[in-house]
């Protein structure tokens, strides 16, 4: 299992590095641009923390959810799953390797966005090390969701649409401060796995962060990541045998 997983991870990381770097720049500039725009209406406090945390996790959502949904949708529509089915590679290794590569690919953009936002809004950089946990755990949750959407969508175009809708939800519900949202929209926000990565990063900007709450938020990301990656593996098996 692990040698197969490592081989798929390296292959996907190499492929993503060549094909996705321009899109990573787009994701990063998009998040930085949102923060610059919000700087005109947000002075500081909890709203600034929400904007910076939401914009940072948005980079993960753009790549791990949106692009991975498109990738698996294309793979399914173009017969790429048949190629993988001929290889002696377990289905879980294919899904975990691709998801891990896309999630890893978000690291530089997320760090750049978090540092730029902290400087822009005057937030402390002291606890940004929490990104070491936020990126892989929120990346696992979002990439598993993206892979499942791409593999379960009946058509490639629908997989692309679902990935973009998911990324848009992460943008609107992650960047806007939670206390500004109507109650029904707030409930929808609670259902998004990216919300808990946003909350964990936002809490870390406090002078004395509530680390128990941060750990609980990250634990939710971890649980959703396990469940979504298991669902994506099941969807891969289902699509590969058709």
- Model pLDDT, residue 176: 79
The stretches in the chain having pLDDT less than 50 are: none
d(CA 144, CA 141): 5
List pLDDT tens digits, range 124-144. 989 999 999 999 899 888 888
| CA 111 vs CA 53, 124, 130, 135, 162: distances in Å | 11, 14, 11, 9, 26
Q: At what angle do helices 131-152 and 156-175 cross, to 10 degrees?
A: 150
| CA 101 vs CA 26, 96, 234: distances in Å | 18, 8, 19
List pLDDT tens digits, range 68-84. 888 888 888 877 777 77
Buried (b) or exposed (e) across 14-24, using 16+ Cβ within 10 A? eebeeebeebb
d(CA 192, CA 166): 9
């Amino acid at each position: 299992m692990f040698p197969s997983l490592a081989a798929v991870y390296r292959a996907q990381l190499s492929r993503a590095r060549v094909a996705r770097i321009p899109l990573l720049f787009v994701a990063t500039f998009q998040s930085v641009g949102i923060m610059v725009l919000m700087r005109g209406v947000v002075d500081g406090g909890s709203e600034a923390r929400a904007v910076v945390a939401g914009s940072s996790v948005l980079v993960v959502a753009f790549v791990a959810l949106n692009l991975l949904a498109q990738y698996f949708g294309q793979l399914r529509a173009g017969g790429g799953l048949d190629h993988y089915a001929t290889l002696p590679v377990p289905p879980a290794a294919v899904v975990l390797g691709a998801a891990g590569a896309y999630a890893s690919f978000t690291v530089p953009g997320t760090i750049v966005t978090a540092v730029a936002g902290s400087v822009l809004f005057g937030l402390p950089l002291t606890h940004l090390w929490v990104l070491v946990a936020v990126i892989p755990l929120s990346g696992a949750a979002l990439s598993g969701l993206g892979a499942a959407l791409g593999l379960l969508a009946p058509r490639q175009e629908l997989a692309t649409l679902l990935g973009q809708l998911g990324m848009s939800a992460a943008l609107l519900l992650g960047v806007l401060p939670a206390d500004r949202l109507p109650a029904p929209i707030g409930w929808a926000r609670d259902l998004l796995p990216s919300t808990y990565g946003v909350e964990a990063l936002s809490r870390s900007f406090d002078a004395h962060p509530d680390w128990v709450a941060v750990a609980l938020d990250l634990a939710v990301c971890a649980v959703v990541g396990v469940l979504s990656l298991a669902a994506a593996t099941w969807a891969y098996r289902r699509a590969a045998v058709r």
